[in-house]
Amino acid sequence: MMVLKVVGSALEILASLGVSRMASHPYQLRVSTLEEWQRLLRHLAPLIEWRRLPLGKALQEASRGLPHLQGAMVELSRELEKPDTNFREAWDALLRRQAGVWEDDRAALTALGQVLGASEASFQRDHLIAARADLERLMGEARVRLAKDGRLFPVMISAAGVMVVIMAL
Amino acid sequence: MEPWCYLPNPWRQALIDLPHPLASTLEEIRFRVDRPVYLYGGSWNQPLAHPSVATRLSLGDIERIVEVLVEHSLYARVDELRHGYVTISGGHRVGIAGRAVIAGGKVETVRQITGLNMRVARQIKGVGETVLRQLWVREGAGSWLLAAPPRAGKTTLLRDLVRILADQGNRVVVIDERSEIAGVGASGISPFEMGCHTDVLDGWPKPAGIEIAIRTLGPDIVAVDELGGEEDLAAVAHARQAGARVIATVHARTPEDLLGRAAFSQAWRQGIFDAVVFLRRDPLVGTIDRIWTQASAPLPAQVLP
């Protein structure tokens, strides 16, 4: 009987840990996705301003080594090679598909998509700086949410798990 | 590739569906706001009629076409826009009409684009042979200027002369400021046959390109399109002094048009060019109107400054 209780308690602890991680995952995903977007924009600036690469190629190159964004940027780059592609529509579709991009983040990135590629290099630099500032602010918010909600839920779930274990034993 | 392959639909499909006689003689496609798309051949013009194409273009249509032509990367093409055109792959030039944005007395960029003129670049092999024969008989190897009004076939003739002369073993360097002669562009590969011994300096401003060609590529012949002002002519003179022949084009309908410009008049007197070939559009594009050589056709007195 005791063995069963111990095994049950161990399973309960594992389940609590799993559920805790699941509860905090969206917050962590948002933070890591925003970090990648920031890195993407940082890499994109010289590719546009100095190397003057076509936008599709610049996005593809800037996304190298960014696991959340690379695949989407390669796909977007391929889309842009087709003469019927509307960049803003393709950009918006990418944002809708992108996991870890929340509503506020999407609004900021949509605003960037409205102006990306469509002006002289110095204006592009200004737009990218503004977008990075927006993302920096959103990143601050995301980290606060991760620290509060993202950790509160796992703690509550873990506490509930511990209570179940105590009662079971 | 034909230039309309770079257009978005519905215009691309409408142009692909053109009957062969029209498509093969098409020279220009004009897009203007609030007007139908017009097609121009050597001796004909007509609106683009297709069920999927609206009878009038909107500003948004033109913006969309420009966005696609510049590969969604206006920032990479602003230098060309400042000069009123963009060149797309294949050497096809798209002239742009719009509002000039002036900064510091210079055209910063073009906004509110209201018209596009897409010119079809073609390679017509053999057109240079007649000119070459006539010039060779009269002048031998020398430096030649091809003068003609717009759309008279200057660039097509220059391209063919480059091909023929390069295949004869001359080392030819093409200074292709607008990617129009060789059409290299972003792809890095010319869609035209340019001859075995041709190097292309793509996108280089003419004076800097000629300087580089002379210093590093050891050309027998330098080919350059659309000479403009004194700076271009000074670079050509420098190439001549360095021992290279120059074949160049310039916009001019008549000798008076050409030599009425002080810089060209002086260049002729200095013997920078050994011959000037005047072309005209009728009865056919690229028809030789007359050939002037230093020996056979001295300057008329009235055009000397």
For the question of whether the overall pTM of this predicted structure is more than 0.95, the answer is no
Provide the percentage of residues in chain B whose pLDDT is more than 70: 93
The answer on pLDDT for B296 being more than 80 is no
Structural domain that includes position A130: 2-168
pLDDT digits (tens, 9 = 90+) for B153-187: 899 999 999 999 999 999 999 999 888 888 887 66
Residue of A nearest to B69 (CA): A83
The domain total for chain B is: 2
User: Which of A 17-46 lie inside 8 A of B, CB atoms?
Assistant: none
Residues B221 and B139 in one domain: yes
Q: Look at A56 and B71 and tell me if their CB atoms are within 8 Å.
A: yes
Residues B102 and B210 in one domain: no
Alpha carbons within 13 angstroms on the beta-carbon side of residue B60 total 2
Strand-pair category, B26-32 with B38-41: antiparallel
B76 touches chain A (CB under 8 A): yes
pLDDT at res. A12: 73
pLDDT digits (tens, 9 = 90+) for A93-133: 999 999 889 999 999 999 999 999 888 888 899 999 999 99
Task: Collect all residues of chain B within an 8 Å Cβ-Cβ radius of residue A54.
Answer: 71-73, 76, 186
User: Which amino acid makes up residue B78?
Assistant: V
Burial string for B57-87 (b: 16+ CB within 10 Å, else e) reads beeebbebbbbbbbbbbbbbbbebbbebbbb
pLDDT band at B304 (very low <50, low <70, confident <90, very high): very low
A8 touches chain B (CB under 8 A): no
CB nearest to A120's CB, from B5, B8, B109: B109
Residue where a domain stops, chosen among B77, B103, B119: B119
User: Domain with B228 in it: what CATH number?
Assistant: 3.40.50.300
Residues B277 and B138 in one domain: yes
User: Which amino acid makes up residue B263?
Assistant: A
**Residue appearing with tokens 């069920």:** B51
User: Which of B 204-263 lie inside 8 A of A, CB atoms?
Assistant: none
Structural domain that includes position B238: 127-303
Residues B131 and B98 in one domain: no
> How many other CB atoms sit within 10 Å of the CB of residue A18?
11
Residue where a domain stops, chosen among B70, B88, B119: B119
Burial string for A42-64 (b: 16+ CB within 10 Å, else e) reads ebbbebbeeeebbbbbbbbebbe
Q: Look at B5 and A53 and tell me if their CB atoms are within 8 Å.
A: no
A102 with A133: CB under 8 angstroms?
no
Residue where a domain stops, chosen among B96, B119, B142: B119
Residues B241 and B115 in one domain: no
pLDDT at res. B191: 84
The answer on pLDDT for A76 being more than 90 is yes
Task: Collect all residues of chain A within an 8 Å Cβ-Cβ radius of residue B67.
Answer: 87, 118
Residues B159 and B222 in one domain: yes
User: Which amino acid makes up residue B196?
Assistant: C
The domain total for chain A is: 1
Cα separation, B260 vs B264, in Å, equals 8
Residues B194 and B88 in one domain: no
Residues B208 and B279 in one domain: yes
Token pair in block for residue B84:
């009123």
A154 touches chain B (CB under 8 A): no
